[in-house]
């Protein structure tokens, strides 16, 4: 196959969100402005200049809505209010003004598959079978076995463990919750429900100037009407993984087109979280501009590399091949092509994943952590689509160490799994150690510890010196932090700034370009080409601890490497390079 084919890609007048560099903020952990140990909106405002200095022009703020915080704000009790420890609606209006004055966009999380069980709608719904809002949620009668014992309507396992069905004693029916018991699913079949959601969760904030939404679990709104049992994949349990049954349901296109009609009135962007969707034609239907549904989606092919199909915490650390990673990236990058009007996302981290250096790089020494962090930055920024950076990624943050005890973890997902293993094994130390190893590799808490601003413990510049943070900081804060990196030209942060500038300078290649995987079977080096109408680039990244021969694809000009003085024909461990061809 020739190095460069005659691919033509024309960059038309792109909407603002295609060229955006989006920085994801987890409010509880970003910056505490009032020394109560919890991050807040004014804390975000205080760091806007920091974000701008990185090269970020858009921020995505995770849920800051009124919430009992069972699932860190993804259980919303009032869409039109703010969680009081984070601030007020007036603070959000201030954030929008301050960001827009810096020409920065603001995106919010849109969590509308479910609400909190403390939302006024659900309180009404569960009050009686005849309440007008009864049908705003999904209620089903019980089944009974041959002995007359109560049984749930089907065998679906909830995302956080246990059944998706919770018995309500008052009205003697089950309600559906795909996530926590306290997160009942809304009934999207009911038009009145949908209109109320659009009004409170979308229009209220769009009218205040919000520039768009990252839409949580966007493909779960439409459930199959007969609620069939899931296929049995876990032979040791009654409850089964059921996502293949309830994602991408029959009315999804209709619902998303309704939402799109609202969003386009405001020139607002829609970014859907689209898990469990291996069918690329289905994904294309969501994101093709002609379909008028979503602007782009997060697919989790990269996050799912090496992950156990039955339960993520059964995964063995680093149990994947580089070719698995290549296939994952190539799938999501394939959405951008000369003949397609689709768009995609480029990311390595978010609030639901372990840190990318610990997943895909090498965090065993500070030196290797820094080098692989820079290489992953280069790798990530050369992918086409809208780029997303998660807070702390620009510092090269790594996972919590094994010495961080389970008692200090906060996330339901991790704690439920650990307690399940403890119960099933009767406290067997070997099984608990194996569970802890998986948690140390994959837990969501690795991304949720407080931001590492200064080299000090226990507060790390996140909160006041004598204040206990809401969650114990990562002990590596003393060597991985913003203060020590901001003026260090050799830091991970400085490399991120440099590579983001190059991405913008050559955006026809690195934002809009066509991705082509090459040297496919190499298990050490990840190589790909980027094509635009007039330019071509070669990206090579050594994902190994040893030297690797540089694959030869012709002579180009070296644009950037994460290793100074690198050898001409050899890639050092965790080295990445970009070559330009005119």
Q: Which of 60, 6, 17 is nearest to 343 (CA)?
A: 17
Pair 362, 372: CB distance under 8 Å:
yes
Sign of the four-CA dihedral 409, 411, 416, 418: negative
pLDDT in tens, 134-176: 999 999 999 898 898 999 999 999 999 899 999 999 999 999 9
Residue 10: pLDDT over 60? no
Cut 0.85: pTM above it: yes
DSSP-derived secondary structure letter, 116? -
Pairing of strands 58-61, 65-66: unpaired
> Which of 551 and 403 is assigned the larger pLDDT?
403
Query: So which residues are the catalytic ones?
Result: 216, 273
Q: Are residues 151 and 292 in the same domain?
A: no
In a domain, 535, yes or no: no
Q: What is the model's pLDDT at position 9?
A: 47
Residue 3: pLDDT over 50? no
Q: Are residues 108 and 161 in the same domain?
A: no
pLDDT in tens, 239-260: 999 999 999 999 999 999 999 9
Calculate what percentage of the chain has a pLDDT beyond 90.
Answer: 90
Half-sphere exposure of 303 (CA within 13 A, CB side): 21
Q: Are residues 355 and 428 in the same domain?
A: no
Residue 6: pLDDT over 60? no
Which residue among 460, 492, 524 closes a domain? 492
**Per-chain mean pLDDT for the chain:** 95
pLDDT in tens, 480-535: 999 999 999 999 999 999 999 999 999 999 999 999 999 999 999 999 999 999 89
In a domain, 483, yes or no: yes
What φ, ψ does residue 59 adopt, rounded to 5°?
-125, 145
What φ, ψ does residue 193 adopt, rounded to 5°?
-60, -50
Mean of pLDDT values over 425-450: 95
Q: Are residues 258 and 306 in the same domain?
A: yes
Q: What is the model's pLDDT at position 171?
A: 98
User: Which residues, 6+ apart, have CB-to-CB distance to 333 below 8 Å?
Assistant: 344, 383, 384, 385, 515
Q: Is 505 exposed, middle or buried (0-12, 13-18, 19+ CB in 10 A)?
A: exposed
When mean pLDDT is compared across 10-24, 37-51, 377-391, 427-441, the lowest value belongs to 10-24
In a domain, 151, yes or no: yes
Q: What is the model's pLDDT at position 310?
A: 78
- Give me the domain span that covers residue 421: 401-442
Pair 21, 55: CB distance under 8 Å:
yes
pLDDT in tens, 192-221: 999 999 999 999 999 999 999 999 999 999
Q: Is 247 exposed, middle or buried (0-12, 13-18, 19+ CB in 10 A)?
A: buried
In a domain, 302, yes or no: yes
Sign of the four-CA dihedral 321, 402, 353, 157: positive
Q: Are residues 164 and 201 in the same domain?
A: no
Q: What is the model's pLDDT at position 11?
A: 56
Residue 12: pLDDT over 80? no
- CATH number, domain containing residue 354: 3.20.20.80
- What b/e string do you get for 342-368 counting C-beta neighbours within 10 Å, with b at 16 or more? bbbbbbbbbbbbbbbbbbbbbbeeeeb
Q: What is the model's pLDDT at position 396?
A: 99
Q: What is the model's pLDDT at position 340?
A: 85
Which residue among 492, 518, 551 closes a domain? 492
In a domain, 61, yes or no: yes
- CATH number, domain containing residue 133: 3.90.400.10
Instruction: Report the first-to-last Cα separation within the chain, whole angstroms.
Output: 19
Half-sphere exposure of 412 (CA within 13 A, CB side): 17
Q: Are residues 126 and 108 in the same domain?
A: no
Q: Are residues 416 and 301 in the same domain?
A: no
Q: Are residues 332 and 363 in the same domain?
A: yes
Calculate what percentage of the chain has a pLDDT beyond 70.
Answer: 98
When mean pLDDT is compared across 7-21, 118-132, 349-363, 507-521, the lowest value belongs to 7-21
Q: Are residues 26 and 171 in the same domain?
A: no
Q: Are residues 164 and 302 in the same domain?
A: no
In a domain, 377, yes or no: yes
Pair 19, 296: CB distance under 8 Å:
no
In a domain, 563, yes or no: no
Residue 2: pLDDT over 60? no
In a domain, 521, yes or no: no
Label residue 554 by pLDDT band (50, 70, 90).
confident
pLDDT in tens, 222-234: 999 999 999 999 9
Q: Are residues 459 and 438 in the same domain?
A: no
What φ, ψ does residue 196 adopt, rounded to 5°?
-65, -40
Mean of pLDDT values over 552-567: 88
The tally of domains found in the chain comes to 3
Q: Which of 496, 290, 309 is nearest to 397 (CA)?
A: 496
Q: Please tell me the distance from the alpha carbon of residue 321 to that of residue 331, in angstroms, as a whole number.
A: 16
pLDDT in tens, 301-334: 999 999 988 788 888 889 999 999 999 999 999 9
DSSP-derived secondary structure letter, 179? S
Mean of pLDDT values over 112-122: 99
Q: Are residues 206 and 315 in the same domain?
A: yes
């Amino acid at each position: 196959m020739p190095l460069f084919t005659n691919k033509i890609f024309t960059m038309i007048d792109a909407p603002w969100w295609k060229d955006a560099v989006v920085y994801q903020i987890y409010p509880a952990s970003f910056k505490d402005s009032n020394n109560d140990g919890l991050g807040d909106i004014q804390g975000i405002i205080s760091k806007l200049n920091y974000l701008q200095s990185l090269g970020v022009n858009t921020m995505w703020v995770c849920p800051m809505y009124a919430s009992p915080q069972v699932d860190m704000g993804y259980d919303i009790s009032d869409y039109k209010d703010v969680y009081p420890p984070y601030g007020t609606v007036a603070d959000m209006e201030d954030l929008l003004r301050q960001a827009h004055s810096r020409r920065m966009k603001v995106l919010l999380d849109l969590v509308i598959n479910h609400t909190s069980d403390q939302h006024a709608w659900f309180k009404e719904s569960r009050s009686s079978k005849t309440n007008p809002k009864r049908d705003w949620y999904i209620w089903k009668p019980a089944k009974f076995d041959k002995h007359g014992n109560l049984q749930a309507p089907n065998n679906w396992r909830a995302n956080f463990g246990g059944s998706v069905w919770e018995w309500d004693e008052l009205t003697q029916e089950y309600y559906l919750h795909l996530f926590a018991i306290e997160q009942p699913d809304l009934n999207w079949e009911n038009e009145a429900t949908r209109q109320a959601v659009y009004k409170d969760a979308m229009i209220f904030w769009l009218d205040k100037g919000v520039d768009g939404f990252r839409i949580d679990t966007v493909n779960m709104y439409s459930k199959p009407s007969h609620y069939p049992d899931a296929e049995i994949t876990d032979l040791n349990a009654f409850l089964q993984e059921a996502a293949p049954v309830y994602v991408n349901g029959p009315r999804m296109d209709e619902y998303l087109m309704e939402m799109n009609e609202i969003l386009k009135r405001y020139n607002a962007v829609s970014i859907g979280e689209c898990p469990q969707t291996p069918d690329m034609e289905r994904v294309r239907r969501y994101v093709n501009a002609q379909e008028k549904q979503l602007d782009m989606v997060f697919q989790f092919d990269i996050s799912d590399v090496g992950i156990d199909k039955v339960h993520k915490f059964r995964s063995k650390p680093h149990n994947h091949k580089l070719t698995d990673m290549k296939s994952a990236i190539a799938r999501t990058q394939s959405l951008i092509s000369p003949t397609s009007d689709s768009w995609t996302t480029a990311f390595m981290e978010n609030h639901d994943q372990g840190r990318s250096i610990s997943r895909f790089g090498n965090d065993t020494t500070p030196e290797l952590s820094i080098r692989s962090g820079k290489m992953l930055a280069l790798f990530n920024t050369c992918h086409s689509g809208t780029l997303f950076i998660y807070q702390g990624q620009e510092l090269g943050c790594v996972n919590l160490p094994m010495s961080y005890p389970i008692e200090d973890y906060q996330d339901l997902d991790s704690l439920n799994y650990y307690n399940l293993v403890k119960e099933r094994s009767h406290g067997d130390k070997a099984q608990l150690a194996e569970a802890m190893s998986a948690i140390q590799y994959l837990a969501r808490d690795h991304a949720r510890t407080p931001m590492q601003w200064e080299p000090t413990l226990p507060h790390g510049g996140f909160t006041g010196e004598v204040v206990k943070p809401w969650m114990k900081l990562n002990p590596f804060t003393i060597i991985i932090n913003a203060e020590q990196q901001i003026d260090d030209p050799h830091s991970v942060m400085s490399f991120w700034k440099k590579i983001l500038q190059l991405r913008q300078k050559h955006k026809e290649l690195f934002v809009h370009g066509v991705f082509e995987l090459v040297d496919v079977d190499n298990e050490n080096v990840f190589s790909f080409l980027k094509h635009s109408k007039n330019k071509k680039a070669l990206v090579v990244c050594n994902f190994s601890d040893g030297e690797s021969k540089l694959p030869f694809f012709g002579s180009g000009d070296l644009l950037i490497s994460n290793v100074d003085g690198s050898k001409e024909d050899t890639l050092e461990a965790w080295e990445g390079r970009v070559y330009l061809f005119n």
